[in-house]
Each structure stands twice: as C-alpha cells, then as structure tokens.
Amino acid sequence: MTRRRRPSLPQAYRELPWRRKARWLAGALAVVVAVLAVLLLEVHFSAQAIVLGYQLRRVERRTVRQRQENAELKTRLARLTSGEMVWKRARQAYRLPEPDEVHFVPVPAAAVATPSPMTMAVPQVSAEPPLPTAYRESLLHWLMRYLLPEEQP
C-alpha cells in the first residue's frame, strides 16, 4: 500500500490553475456586463432625448401654424370691422331717414338727475370676500412668521 504524500503548506494554499482561470473569467465578464450596462443607459437616455426633440419640433410647428392662423383671423376680423366695410354693410341694410321721419323729444333740464354728494361719498364694497392670508402672503413672510412668532404681551 502506497501512502499518499501530504502536500506542503504553500502547495496546500496555492489555488488550482482552473480556479484562477475561472476567477479571471468571472472578473472579465463582470467588467463586460458593467460596460454594457453603461452603454445601455447611454443609448436609453439618448433615445429619450431624440424622442423629446421630435416632440418639441412637432409642438413648435403646431405653434407656428396656430400663430399664422390667428394672424389670418385677426386680419380677416380687421377687414370686416373696418370703417369702409361697416359703412358698406350699413348702406345695404339701412337707409337714411327722410326729414319728416325724424322726431325729436324735448327733455326739460330739471328731469336730468344729479347725484347727491351723500351718494358719491359711500365707499364701494367689493362683493368678493377678501383672500385668506395664506394666498396674500409670500413664502418668505410665512416662513419668518412661522419660525419667529411675534411675542404677544
């Protein structure tokens, strides 16, 4: 019976070659996976930026188109409300009255009401209730009031 020789201490703690290769391969794969993850994130964010760019361009085109339509509508409205057009439409729909068709109604000067000084002195009260302090106060003032409350006697 042959007896197996015990390995020496340095030999016992030395790694086997296949384990060293496996560890090196695992490290290399981890680096490759990390690089691929970074590249994937870069591609993802670049694609998002491109999509947002296209959407922004579409919105800008629509805005330009709507501004042009608004300008055309304003021009059309100005043309329809011009003095010439109003006078032209008025001549088509109305006629000037004959002198015997015009009647004047005399109004005595006493019938014209003059406001009394007391009525003019009444202050105008708003129908809307005042806004709460939270809506009238800036954030800085609220923060100062909250952090440094005024001492009451």
pLDDT tens profile 63-102: 999 999 999 999 999 998 898 888 888 888 888 888 888 8
Global model pTM greater than 0.75: no
> Which single residue is written with the structure tokens 């919105």?
59
User: What's the distance, CA 147 to chain centroid?
Assistant: 32
**Local confidence band at 125 (pLDDT 50, 70, 90 cut-offs):** low
The chain-wide mean pLDDT, for the chain, equals 80
pLDDT of residue 65: 95
Whole-number Å distance between alpha carbons of 47 and 53: 10
Q: Which two tokens stand for residue 44?
A: 């993802």
User: Would the pLDDT of 59 be above 70?
Assistant: yes
